[in-house]
Amino acid sequence: MLSEAAEFVIQGKTVEGNIFQSADWAECLCNSLARTGVDGGKMPSSYVHIIVTEGIKAVVVRVALQKTDPEAFGMIKRYIAENRLMVRSGRGSRDAEASGPLPVVGKERRDPSRNIW
């Protein structure tokens, strides 16, 4: 999956199909990758952002994080595995370059059988 996509989406559902119960999971995951700026404030990572699809929070992760910060990427993978969250492919490289930072979400990409690493 990762070799084909520029990003992947961590869905707010478990592999069993239940809504993930931690209400602020997406914010916590994104904040864990935030950096401290020169003024002491938190700067969000450009590699992750929150979206809402069908009323459920999800986190879009840029695959480039795997090369720039393997430790952070590993932490995200562990979080997904420990909480049994569903993952789907996001935009491909061309789509990501053409449409900017916000993902294009289509139902055709939400096939649970493609929930693999």
Dump the DSSP string for 40-75: S-EE--TTEEEEEETTEEEEEEETTHHHH-HHHHHH
pTM here is: 0.73
Place of tokens 């119960």: 21
Residue 29 within a domain: yes
Residue 21 banded pLDDT, cuts 50, 70, 90: confident
pLDDT per position as a tens digit, 54-88: 899 999 999 999 999 999 999 999 999 999 999 99
What is the total count of domains within the chain? 1
Tokens of 62: 């840029």
Residue 75 within a domain: yes
Residue 66 within a domain: yes
Mean pLDDT of 39-68: 90
CA distance 26 to 113: 23
Mean pLDDT of 38-50: 85
Residue 62 within a domain: yes
* Domain interval for residue 95: 7-114
Residue 2 within a domain: no
Residue 1 within a domain: no
Tokens of 46: 């450009």
High-pLDDT (> 90) share of the chain, %:
52
pLDDT at 34 over 90: no
We report the CATH number of the domain holding residue 74 as 3.30.70.2340
CA distance 96 to 61: 12
pLDDT at 66: 93
pLDDT at 102 over 60: no
Residue 29 banded pLDDT, cuts 50, 70, 90: very high
Residue 44 within a domain: yes
Q: What are the φ and ψ backbone dihedral angles of 77, each rounded to 5 degrees?
A: -60, -40
